[in-house]
Chains A and B, each alone.
Chain A
Amino acid sequence: MRSSASSAGRDALWGWLLLAPSLLLIGGLVLYPVAYNLWLSLFDKHAFLATQRFVGLEHYRYFLTDAQFWSAVRYGLVYSGATLVLQLALGVLAALLLNETFRGRGLLRGVVLFPYLIPTIVAVILWKWLLNDSYGLVNSLLLGVGAIRVPVGWLGPDHIMTSLIVTSVWQFFPFVVVTYLARLQTIPPELYEASEVDGAGPWRRFVHVTLPQTRQVLVVIVLLRSIWMFTKFDTVWLMAGDGAVSRYVRTLPVYAYSRTFTYLQAGMGAALAVVMFLTLVAATVVYLRILRADEEAAA
């Protein structure tokens, strides 16, 4: 009896020892930073001085009435919403095309990945160069065909959000293509053959075969891309972060960065990060619940 108990204890110990590296990694790289950030958000902390003052929930209260905060929320929603919808539309369409059999398909599948593979800084510089109103190719073409009379300020306040959305969609839609295409390739051909026998055309085959079969992967894509776009920092910052027009694309991550590293108010920056974190957790929970309810109804 005693020997079997001590053997179980040894097994448990081994189990914990084997788990320890993973627990340490998760604790050190995920839980601790999140907890520390939460703790930091309760302090009035200068970004580079070792002085801090406990202020409790004061930062959160301040942001409730801070026009900059609500403007950042609005810009963040516009940016993530628009880029998500366009990436999905473009990505799914491209994946459907690349799933067909045609000459040069392999090459095209490689080429379509190109925007996703190049570094963000390169993508942004490229687009800023194309859209520059003094020497950019886009204005030059539009002027050439007579579509405009004077160059359009694509990087000015009126169009900077559109330019940012175009750049981001171009850069990130290949993720949708690859993920969706991978799932498309696993759909049994018999399903399409059966639907063709039943007289379904391409549109009905898409609605009744492809969409139900790819539903799960679409959920994952929507979830991941909305999280990534809502927290996207580099593209937004590089496009206009240090420019006079930054306020027209100042999303929450950019505002959090600015509060921390340019206003030098690390506590406030941490509070903004907590707000973003909680928003995303809440959105994920709601989204997964809706999905589960949908699946249960379908079953």
Chain B
Amino acid sequence: MATTMTRRNFLISTGAATAVLGTAPAALGQQIRELQVWHTEVEPQTVKTIQDTSIAEFERKFPGFKIKQQALGWGDLNTKLLASLAAGSPPDLTHLNPFMTASLWKKGLLRPMDELIRALGEKDIHESTLKLQYFEGKYYGVTHAIGATYIAERRDLREAKGIKPPETYDDFLKLTAALTEDGKRWGLQMPGEKLYIGFVHPAEWLASNGGSWVDPKTWRPQLNGAAMVSTLEYLQKLNKYMPAGWSGQKYLDSLAALATGKVAMVYLSGARTIGYIERYAPEGTRDPDHFQPMLKPRGPQGSKGTSALDGENWAVFSQSKYPNEAFEFLKLFYKREHYMKYCHTVPIHLTPIFKSMMADAEYLANPRIQKWRSWHDFMVKGLEGNRFLPIGFSRPEDNLLPFLAELDGSGIVADLIVEVMVGEKNAKAEADRAQKRAEELLAQLGFKRWS
């Protein structure tokens, strides 16, 4: 029997069908909730290990939840985070650079995590990282892993010249000059990224030469202080022993240049350098006898050379949709067997934050750590000697400065360094110019405390 559908019936049935279809995704969405986790460890094996260990266990324990992890490079993470905060939808859990944490905490955007820190074992967390995100008696972050940065050198070349590891700016300058072979090899290469040359290294130079970003009391910038000006003059001399285009190259380019013998030292190095050495260095030289870390030298006004400690911290935003689950995930992330596997994905670069694990036989049994044990020991020695500060810090108290991210972002210091080093401009005049810009910036941001 043939039937015809009236217009009214058609509209009613279409409307009903649309309503059913329209509510279906909502109903499905209520079943599975998504925990957004952003981090900065982009190596594929690290991402896979997180997925297979802590995420897998979390999803088993919390069947209503799925974790979506996103691995982002530093620069991408910062930009994306700011955009998500502006839109009011940040991730539930994220890595943060310590220099950004104070700024976000000051604005009331972070949740305290004291309970988590106690559950992880407050006393076992290495002192170099424990209190980086400790504000007004509460913890607001926990470092995911420690990775020291240092100079990486061709130890064999230095020893062939009979020169000891440098202690001071002067020693380092002499060493760099000695290792430069005209037309064949440059003594040194620095990374060309603004983040490093305009923020990470200047913080180290200030710390190593008795200076600081700002006056501790008034927050007045100190870019034209004696510590910075004498460093700039030293850098100008150092530039003569570096390849002409270094400022346009990246950190990873400099590692490749070290491994392939184009330069004798790189200023920014971490355990990641080992991967480059093992891949690109000539056969027979891929070992710690040829490649060795070196601590940064001190300036004429400093008491010890300081390097940056690479260690982002996990943070939970106050706007997080699922903060409790984020903390539960972190407990699983730091669970011994998961965490050790995580640290072994990039050995030494991801050194555990737990003192007990750092000396653990099972941790140290990793073949890469065994082969490059001197690099691990070197880092531990540096930690014990208090030779490291978090990235971008010129002194430990810089974790309380709420404008370091803006100072980094402004590129004021990068402009200063490049103009003096590569542009060969007068150090004091350029430092005065940068000082004026920095004072203007802090005043615009509402952080001017000086008169």
Which of B245, B250, B444 is the one whose CB lies under 8 Å from A156? B245
Whole-angstrom distance between the alpha carbons of A134 and B251 in the complex? 13
CB pair B257 A134 closer than 8 Å:
yes
**In the assembled complex, which residues on chain A have CB atoms less than 8 Å from the CB atom of B249?**
132-134, 155
Which of B107, B195, B243, B419 is the one whose CB lies under 8 Å from A151? B243
Known: A48-B82, A134-B253, A258-B409. A265 touches B248 (CB 8 A): no
CB pair A156 B193 closer than 8 Å:
no
A242 at the B interface (CB under 8 A): yes
B406 at the A interface (CB under 8 A): yes
Whole-angstrom distance between the alpha carbons of A149 and B183 in the complex? 8
Number of A-B contacts (CB under 8 A): 115
**In the assembled complex, which residues on chain B have CB atoms less than 8 Å from the CB atom of A73?**
none
Can you show 12 pairs from A to B with CB atoms below 8 A apart? A49-B85, A133-B249, A150-B244, A155-B247, A156-B244, A244-B248, A244-B414, A245-B192, A246-B411, A247-B411, A262-B406, A262-B411
- Residues of chain A touching chain B, judged by Cβ–Cβ distance below 8 Å, are 44, 47-49, 68, 132-135, 149-157, 160, 240, 242-247, 258, 261-265, 268
Please provide the chain B residues from 34 to 86 with a CB less than 8 Å away from any CB of chain A in the complex.
75, 79, 82-83, 85-86
CB pair B75 A242 closer than 8 Å:
yes
Which of B244, B250, B419, B422 is the one whose CB lies under 8 Å from A133? B244
CB pair A261 B256 closer than 8 Å:
no
Known: A47-B82, A133-B243. A245 touches B410 (CB 8 A): no
CB pair A263 B247 closer than 8 Å:
no
CB pair B414 A247 closer than 8 Å:
yes
**In the assembled complex, which residues on chain A have CB atoms less than 8 Å from the CB atom of B183?**
149-150
B contact residues, total (Cβ < 8 Å): 43
Whole-angstrom distance between the alpha carbons of A209 and B125 in the complex? 81
CB pair B82 A244 closer than 8 Å:
no
**In the assembled complex, which residues on chain A have CB atoms less than 8 Å from the CB atom of B198?**
244
CB pair A244 B243 closer than 8 Å:
no
CB pair A243 B82 closer than 8 Å:
no
**In the assembled complex, which residues on chain B have CB atoms less than 8 Å from the CB atom of A157?**
247-248, 418, 422-423
B206 at the A interface (CB under 8 A): no
Whole-angstrom distance between the alpha carbons of A89 and B296 in the complex? 52
CB pair A156 B86 closer than 8 Å:
no
CB pair A245 B248 closer than 8 Å:
yes
CB pair B244 A243 closer than 8 Å:
no
Nearest CB on A from B169, distance (A)? 20
B378 at the A interface (CB under 8 A): no
**In the assembled complex, which residues on chain A have CB atoms less than 8 Å from the CB atom of B246?**
153, 156
Nearest CB on B from A84, distance (A)? 24
Nearest CB on A from B199, distance (A)? 11
CB pair B409 A262 closer than 8 Å:
yes
**In the assembled complex, which residues on chain A have CB atoms less than 8 Å from the CB atom of B245?**
132-134, 151-156
**In the assembled complex, which residues on chain B have CB atoms less than 8 Å from the CB atom of A135?**
256
Nearest CB on B from A174, distance (A)? 26
B274 at the A interface (CB under 8 A): no
Residue of A nearest to B415 (CB): A247
Whole-angstrom distance between the alpha carbons of A68 and B253 in the complex? 29
**In the assembled complex, which residues on chain B have CB atoms less than 8 Å from the CB atom of A152?**
244-245
Nearest CB on A from B237, distance (A)? 18
CB pair B86 A48 closer than 8 Å:
yes
Whole-angstrom distance between the alpha carbons of A243 and B75 in the complex? 12
Nearest CB on A from B197, distance (A)? 4
B130 at the A interface (CB under 8 A): no
**In the assembled complex, which residues on chain B have CB atoms less than 8 Å from the CB atom of A240?**
248
**In the assembled complex, which residues on chain A have CB atoms less than 8 Å from the CB atom of B107?**
49
**In the assembled complex, which residues on chain A have CB atoms less than 8 Å from the CB atom of B192?**
155, 243-245
B417 at the A interface (CB under 8 A): yes
**In the assembled complex, which residues on chain B have CB atoms less than 8 Å from the CB atom of A258?**
409-411
Nearest CB on A from B69, distance (A)? 23
Known: A48-B86, A134-B256, A261-B82. A243 touches B247 (CB 8 A): yes
B262 at the A interface (CB under 8 A): yes
Whole-angstrom distance between the alpha carbons of A153 and B245 in the complex? 4
Which of B405, B410, B444 is the one whose CB lies under 8 Å from A44? B444
CB pair B417 A244 closer than 8 Å:
yes
Residue of B nearest to A250 (CB): B411
Known: A44-B444, A151-B245, A157-B422. A262 touches B410 (CB 8 A): yes
**In the assembled complex, which residues on chain A have CB atoms less than 8 Å from the CB atom of B75?**
242
**In the assembled complex, which residues on chain A have CB atoms less than 8 Å from the CB atom of B144?**
none
Please provide the chain B residues from 189 to 245 with a CB less than 8 Å away from any CB of chain A in the complex.
192-195, 197-198, 243-245
CB pair B194 A246 closer than 8 Å:
yes
Whole-angstrom distance between the alpha carbons of A240 and B415 in the complex? 13
CB pair B410 A160 closer than 8 Å:
no
Residue of A nearest to B436 (CB): A67
**In the assembled complex, which residues on chain B have CB atoms less than 8 Å from the CB atom of A268?**
444
Nearest CB on A from B435, distance (A)? 14
CB pair B406 A263 closer than 8 Å:
yes
**In the assembled complex, which residues on chain A have CB atoms less than 8 Å from the CB atom of B244?**
133, 150-153, 156
CB pair A47 B86 closer than 8 Å:
yes
**In the assembled complex, which residues on chain B have CB atoms less than 8 Å from the CB atom of A133?**
243-245, 248-249
Most buried by A among B244, B246, B408: B244
**In the assembled complex, which residues on chain A have CB atoms less than 8 Å from the CB atom of B423?**
157
Given A155-B249, A262-B406, A265-B445, 8 further pairs, Cβ under 8 A: A44-B444, A151-B244, A154-B245, A156-B248, A160-B248, A244-B414, A247-B411, A268-B444
Known: A47-B86, A132-B245, A152-B244. A243 touches B256 (CB 8 A): no
B177 at the A interface (CB under 8 A): no
Whole-angstrom distance between the alpha carbons of A150 and B82 in the complex? 43
Which of A48, A68, A153, A243 is the one whose CB lies under 8 Å from B193? A243
**In the assembled complex, which residues on chain B have CB atoms less than 8 Å from the CB atom of A156?**
244-248, 422
Whole-angstrom distance between the alpha carbons of A44 and B262 in the complex? 48
Nearest CB on A from B380, distance (A)? 32
Whole-angstrom distance between the alpha carbons of A244 and B86 in the complex? 27
CB pair B247 A132 closer than 8 Å:
no
B120 at the A interface (CB under 8 A): no
The 3 closest A-B CB pairs, nearest first, are A155-B248, A153-B245, A262-B409
Please provide the chain B residues from 64 to 114 with a CB less than 8 Å away from any CB of chain A in the complex.
75, 79, 82-83, 85-86, 107
Nearest CB on B from A144, distance (A)? 15
Nearest CB on B from A7, distance (A)? 27
Whole-angstrom distance between the alpha carbons of A87 and B81 in the complex? 38
Nearest CB on B from A257, distance (A)? 10
Nearest CB on B from A126, distance (A)? 15
**In the assembled complex, which residues on chain A have CB atoms less than 8 Å from the CB atom of B444?**
44, 265, 268
Whole-angstrom distance between the alpha carbons of A48 and B109 in the complex? 11
Known: A44-B444, A47-B86, A157-B422. A244 touches B405 (CB 8 A): no
